[in-house]
Structure 1
Amino acid sequence: MIINSTLNKTVNATIDLAVESYTNYTWINTAIFYILYAVIYIKDVFIPITWIRIQELVLAPYNNPEMIWMVIPLCITLFMMEFYFGRYVDEELGWNSAFGNSIVLIFVSLDLLRFLYGDISQIAGIFSHGFGLSAKTMIAFGIGILGILLMFFNFFHFLPKRFAFWVSSSLPINLIAYVGMAIVYSKVTIDIYTAFAAIGLYILLIFIFGLIHLIEPVHREKSLASLLKRGPEE
């Protein structure tokens, strides 16, 4: 009986060890499978489609010349503001500038509605058939609502200063406006790949402006007190 009991315990322990080992290997194989699947998906699907979306966003003004009238002011404003803050690194945006930048989204929203519906009298009939709005109409309204919210938050200083100055700076505001215009004016597909393409454009622009700032001469303000502290030989 003792031998049988010991043998049973040994067999059971062996079975438990085998089951545990099999379970561990199954978990590892499953993890490897999902990792390989994710790598293949990113390499063969996500990156190519996102790159196509980036090209569609960048080439939207070329394929839709009517949007150039709004794109040119956005680009000029973006580059001038980036050059300015790249030179005067000691300055920050300011609540008044953040407030003014947020109004840009409202103007762009109105232009998108004009493009979609033409006559302003037709805008009143948008909700005549219920709330089944098209995706492009929702984007136009979404940009306008975002502009109103940012304008309200910046006016009353509701948001944390650093976050408010970042989200209301020239690059995010103008990029949101541009991507919205590219989608509404052209046939860019509205999906998750387009969202990641916009993020990719944002990162790319940060990199480009970062390189420009490296060669741009920096000007630092000198206060009267600092000038008085300088010696005669300086």
Structure 2
Amino acid sequence: MGTGEGRVAVITGASSGIGVATARALAADGYRVALLARRSDRIQALADELGDGAIAIEADVTDRGTIVAAAERVKAEFGGTDVLVNNAGIMLLGPFSSDQQDDYRQMIEVNLIGAITATEVFLDQLRDGGGDLVNISSVAGRTARPGNGVYAATKWGMNGWSESLRQELQPGVRVTVIEPGAVATELPSHITHEQTRQGAEALYGQVTVTAEDIAEVIAFAVNRPRHLTINEILLRPAGQA
């Protein structure tokens, strides 16, 4: 019997990368998992792979109505949510200019407002179960560099909001912030600024830290006994500056 037997986890951005790996890790621990993403074919394939106890729900964190519908379905089919993993995110790097204005707005709406919306919608369910909120931030939530200013702003915002929630929701809901450095995922492929994308893909192509490594850390944090809360985990590939 897994450590999560009987518990329910909702994962946003569950169609790729850390979201997929986290779903697999928690399902292996006995969790029932609700997979939320826009790409319904991908999450349905993952739900089929995971079998009973996994459901795919097409949802977009920038569309509150779809998140409300997802929460209602999780309540109806699983009885509620014990763990919410706010994983949906995009990293649209590039020089700061008007050319990137759509990218800036999209990052703020997905990375920050999307996580806030999903948490607001699922909060009553988390409170009912004595739950865990896991926010996927980034090393960019601790330090900024040229070309990642708005992305960093969303992650610094995630960290500040998470720390406030940690104090507000304890002891009933535990809040954990995960801050990965470079992880081998498809994140850089979405960058619209050509030169930046090529550089990022070259860098990320050499990264040895996998989504599975991060999922293992998430599973560890949420499976701790209730008297312990792991508030913040900062992790990088060995050798990353």
Question: TM-score, normalized by length of structure 2?
Answer: 0.25
Rg bigger for which structure?
1
The higher relative CO (CA closer than 8 Å, separation ≥ 6) is in 1
Q: Which structure shows the higher strand fraction?
A: 2
Question: TM-score, normalized by length of structure 1?
Answer: 0.26
Q: Which structure shows the higher helix fraction?
A: 1
